[in-house]
Amino acid sequence: MKTFAIVGAAALGLLIATPVLAADLAVPAAAPAAAAPAPAASWTGAYVGIQGGYVWGSAPSPDQGWEVDPTGGLIGAFAGYNYDLGGVVIGAEVGGNWDFATGSVVTNPLGGTETFKADQNWDASLVGRIGVPVADSFLLYGLAGGSITQVSGAYDENPPPNDPTVSTTVGGWTVGAGAEYKLTDMFSVRGEYRYASYGNADLTCSFCGHTSVNLSTNAATIGLLAHW
């Protein structure tokens, strides 16, 4: 009888210990994996755009000693390609504008009125760009490159006759900066400033003395871009 009691007590102890031991040896369930962060939006790709704005310039004449300052509106278009290196965006852009900048200066008020009028008719450029993304939708950038423009000028005489208009195309350089904001994955808007210097444009006519102007311009534009 004593033996049966000992065996029964041992069996009861084993039954009690088995669930505890099983709980201690159980392999804990793996924690759920954290969700991977969404990749940052990329600026890599081609784009085209249209823009409008205002241009103001300075055109002193080293030959005549006076200065004419053409100012006015502009409309234009551009196309380019960006490559996102991760933290830095590089690219290139080509563009052109129709410029409606005009200016005049009274050059000879004695013995009648003589006025020299100068216009900036169009400009085109090829620039390199480098930018820094701010968050996913905002890009700050700078640019530099080459630019060309057409300038025309003429003396208006009072009394007439007026001298013929002379036009010439001159090359130079341009620098600038801008900010671009993505409205969607496909469309964005930007604001930009550029300075350009073109050197001397010869506007000497057949009936007047040698006349050149040393043109430099400032332009502020707002543009709408499509990306793909």
pLDDT at 5: 41
Instruction: Tell whether 88 is covered by a domain.
Output: yes
Q: How far apart are CA 97 and CA 125, in angstroms?
A: 9
Instruction: Tell whether 78 is covered by a domain.
Output: yes
Number of domains in the chain: 1
Q: Which domain holds residue 74?
A: 45-227
pLDDT at 123: 98
Task: Specify the residue for token string 């216009």.
Answer: 119
Instruction: Tell whether 25 is covered by a domain.
Output: no
Instruction: Tell whether 68 is covered by a domain.
Output: yes
Sign of the four-CA dihedral 190, 191, 197, 203: positive
CATH of the domain at 99: 2.40.160.20
Instruction: Tell whether 101 is covered by a domain.
Output: yes
pLDDT at 11: 41
pLDDT at 133: 96
Residue ranges in the chain modelled with pLDDT below 70: 1-40, 109-112
pLDDT at 205: 82
Instruction: Tell whether 57 is covered by a domain.
Output: yes
Instruction: Tell whether 204 is covered by a domain.
Output: yes
pLDDT at 187: 97
What are the residues whose beta carbons fall under 8 Å from the beta carbon of 217, sequence distance 6 or more?
55, 56, 57, 58, 70, 101, 120, 123, 149, 195, 196, 198
Q: How far apart are CA 218 and CA 67, in angstroms?
A: 16
Instruction: Tell whether 139 is covered by a domain.
Output: yes
> In this predicted model, what pLDDT tens digit does every residue of 159-174 receive, in sequence order?
777 778 999 999 999 9
